[in-house]
Structure formats: C-alpha cells, structure tokens
C-alpha cells in the first residue's frame, strides 16, 4: 500500500500548529461541472500510476507567492507540482489515483489526464481534467476485476492571475476506506514543501467535502498524526468547487532575503505604486513570462509610483537587485 509523503516513521503526537500565513483566501462555489470538450492528453501509457509529466502551461504560475516556471504532474498522480524558488503542490485530492484499465477485462475502461488553455493574457486559464480515474487500493486489490467500480472526475484550473480553482464532477464513490488508503481524505495546497525534511505549510479542507473549513497548518508531521479526518467519509458532490484567491498585492521573495516589497493596484492600467521598506534606492528589472528582462526601474524607500503605459498588457515580475520580487499584472483599457 502506498502513502503520500510517508516514510513509515512513527512520529510522536504533539499539539497541532495552526498558522495564519497562507497567502490565499478561500471560497466554496457550486456550479455545473463541464467536462473539457477540446483538449490534449498527457502522454501516459495504459495502466498508468504515479505519473510525472511536464504540463505545457503557457505562462509562469504564481503558487504560494512564488513564481513557478515549471509545472508538472507529480507524486501519487493526484498532485500538480509547481517549481520556483521552492516546491509547491496543488492537491485537488489526496487519494491515490490511477488508471482503472488494469481492472477491466474488456480493455474499454480507461482513465485520462486531459488539459487545455484559453483566454487572453493576462487572464489565461490552464485547465487540467482527471477523467474517470480510479483508486490504487481498489484497482490493484485481490478482487479488483469484480469490485473496482469507484470512479472520479475533477478539474484544476490554474489562472494566470494566480487564482487556483478545483471543480468536482460526477463520481461513483461509495467506499471511502479505499479512497483514503490509510491517509487523510481531503484537498488543498502545500507551500514551500521540502520532501527531505517535510518542512512546509498546508492549506487543507477539514469537514464535509461540500462545505469544509480551510485550515493553515505549519507542521506536516503533526497534521498527519493529529487524528484529523479531513473530508472524513465524504467526497465533493458534482458541481462543488473550491477557489483559492491569492492575497493581493502578492509579494514574491527569494528565501532568506531581508525586506519586503508590495505593488498595487493589481491589475495596473497606467500607474503602479510600489511600497518598499528598504533604506536606500535600488534598481529593479521587469521580467516577462518568458523570463526576459524588458526594462528597469529605480525604486526608492517608501512609495514609488511607476508609469507602466509602455509595458504590454500581461503578467510580470518586478525584481529588485537584492532578489525581492513582486508579481504584477498590467491591463490597458485602450
């Protein structure tokens, strides 16, 4: 049996550490689930399990306040990994999913990971759909040909603006013991995750899946052994959705760099106000979504007002010489 992030080490149960520093607000929505109609497929062989495949997302994605230039499927298949200054995980489910085809004697029942993107910069959306997926403990169980009947459909939308949304579709889930697989049946985001030390923070759902509360947890091991039930014996009903909105303005910083910088409004049309707590003027570069420097600014302690009329509409990083950065979106009305 496989487990997400578990080394099989028995850790002592200590008090839970609840944090308040997740750079997201959360919302629960209800809307009709719409399967992707025009899409490409992640290139997976039949019987796939634990795929690690690059996703061709056409823009840099800000996750947990960090600009990620690489996005891929990861871990037990249910995760999307964003890599920037650190690793960040997007987890629409924590269950161990896989292709259902090994449990189908006809060869007709398969699972797919689909993707597409649409919209115009700076408001593009990259959509990933997990279609007709099964669950490892059932598909590879002793009686899997007869009993592997549980299926799930859900989508992850990665918005160029930094918003992340989960959309849950039809499912045939009845046995939650096979879904959780001795882990916690839930969903959420993991920021600054270090797989070696288990350092990082989690923003996870606690309570019935159609209306949970989201808690920020700063100790992954504590959470695993806390006795929390996550969704418990529930699963999101078709049409349920979770929205994670970045708290704006988003300050994106290199680790272990003193100081902070914020920029507003987001999006900016003609002017951008930059607040920086430094002690002396410093140069900053405009970095576009291709990682290219497209201009520079002089930033002063306190507030600096920048004219952004000459920048094309789109998403940028304003990066100081000392490594501090801020995520900026430019949107012109003309």
Q: Which comes out higher in pLDDT, residue 76 or 201?
A: 201
In-domain check, residue 13: no
pLDDT of residue 182: 66
Q: What is the pLDDT of residues 301-316, one digit of tens each?
A: 999 999 999 988 877 8
Q: Which comes out higher in pLDDT, residue 48 or 180?
A: 48
In-domain check, residue 88: yes
Measured in whole angstroms, the distance separating CA 29 from the mean position of its chain's CA atoms is 17
Distance, in Å, from the CA atom of 107 to the CA atom of 249, rounded to the nearest integer, reads 50
**C-beta of residue 57 within 8 angstroms of C-beta of residue 73:** no
pLDDT bucket at 147, cuts 50 / 70 / 90: low
Task: Find where tokens 């592997």 sit.
Answer: 148
Is the alpha carbon torsion for 282, 251, 129, 219 positive or negative? Answer: positive
pLDDT of residue 1: 41
Measured in whole angstroms, the distance separating CA 51 from the mean position of its chain's CA atoms is 17
Distance, in Å, from the CA atom of 287 to the CA atom of 297, rounded to the nearest integer, reads 11
Distance, in Å, from the CA atom of 136 to the CA atom of 182, rounded to the nearest integer, reads 12
Q: Which comes out higher in pLDDT, residue 9 or 99?
A: 99
- DSSP symbol at 49: B
Strand ranges (E), 75-111: 79-83, 87-91, 97-98
Distance, in Å, from the CA atom of 236 to the CA atom of 229, rounded to the nearest integer, reads 15
Picking from 246, 276, 295, the residue at the C-terminal end of a domain is 246
In-domain check, residue 304: yes
Give the mean model confidence (pLDDT) for residues 125-141.
Answer: 92
223 has pLDDT over 90: no
In-domain check, residue 61: yes
* Same-domain pairing of 240 and 256: no
Q: How far is CA 74 from CA 54, 102, 187, 191, in A?
A: 9, 21, 15, 15
User: Domain total for the chain?
Assistant: 2
251 has pLDDT over 60: no
Domain containing 280 equals 251-330
Strands of the sheet containing 18-19, edge to edge, are 18-19, 213-217, 199-206, 188-194, 87-91, 79-83, 70-74
pLDDT of residue 60: 87
Q: What is the mean pLDDT of the chain?
A: 83
Start-to-end Cα distance in the chain: 57
pLDDT of residue 146: 54
pLDDT of residue 19: 37
160 has pLDDT over 90: no
Written as six digits, the tokens of 125 are 């959306």
* Same-domain pairing of 231 and 272: no
Residues in the chain: 334
* Same-domain pairing of 229 and 278: no
* Same-domain pairing of 178 and 266: no
Written as six digits, the tokens of 327 are 């995520």
Strand ranges (E), 84-123: 87-91, 97-98, 112-118
271 has pLDDT over 80: yes
250 has pLDDT over 60: no
120 has pLDDT over 60: yes
Peptide bond into 267 cis (omega under 30): yes
Instruction: Using DSSP, state whether 179 is helix, strand or coil.
Output: helix
Q: What is the pLDDT of residues 14-68, one digit of tens each?
A: 223 333 468 898 999 999 999 999 999 998 999 999 898 989 998 889 899 888 8
pLDDT of residue 178: 78
* Same-domain pairing of 70 and 130: yes
* Same-domain pairing of 195 and 88: yes
78 has pLDDT over 90: no
pLDDT of residue 261: 84
pLDDT of residue 13: 24
Residue 300 CB neighbour total at 10 angstroms: 14
Picking from 214, 229, 246, the residue at the C-terminal end of a domain is 246
């Amino acid at each position: 049996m496989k487990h997400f992030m578990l080394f099989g080490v028995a850790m002592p149960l200590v008090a839970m550490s609840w944090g308040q520093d997740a750079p997201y607000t959360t919302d629960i929505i209800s809307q009709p689930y719409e399967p992707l109609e025009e899409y490409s497929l992640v290139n997976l062989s039949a019987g796939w399990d634990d795929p690690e495949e690059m996703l061709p997302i056409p823009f840099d994605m800000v996750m947990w306040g960090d600009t990620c230039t690489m996005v891929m499927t990861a871990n037990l298949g249910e995760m999307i990994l964003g890599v920037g200054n650190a690793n960040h995980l997007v987890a629409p489910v924590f269950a161990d999913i896989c292709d259902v085809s090994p449990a189908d004697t006809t060869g007709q029942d398969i699972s797919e990971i689909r993707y597409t993107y649409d919209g115009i910069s700076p408001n593009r959306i990259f959509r990933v759909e997990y279609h007709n997926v099964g669950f490892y403990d059932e598909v590879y169980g002793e009686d899997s040909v007869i009993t592997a009947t549980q299926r799930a459909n859900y989508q992850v939308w990665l918005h160029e603006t930094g918003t992340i949304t989960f959309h849950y579709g039809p499912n045939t889930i009845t046995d939650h013991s096979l879904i959780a697989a001795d882990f916690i049946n839930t969903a959420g985001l993991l920021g600054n995750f270090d797989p070696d030390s288990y350092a990082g923070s989690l923003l996870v759902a606690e309570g019935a899946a159609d209306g949970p509360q989201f808690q920020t947890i700063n100790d992954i091991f504590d959470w695993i052994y806390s006795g929390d039930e996550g969704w418990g014996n529930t699963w999101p009903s078709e049409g349920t959705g979770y929205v994670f909105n970045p708290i704006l303005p988003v300050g994106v910083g290199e680790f272990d760099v003193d100081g902070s910088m914020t920029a507003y409004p987001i999006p900016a049309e003609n002017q951008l106000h930059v607040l920086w707590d430094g002690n002396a003027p410093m140069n900053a570069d405009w970095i576009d979504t291709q990682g290219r420097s497209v201009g520079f600014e002089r930033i002063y302690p306190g507030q600096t007002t920048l004219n952004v009329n000459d920048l094309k509409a789109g998403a940028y990083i304003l990066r100081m010489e000392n490594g501090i950065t801020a995520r900026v979106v430019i949107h012109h009305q003309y």
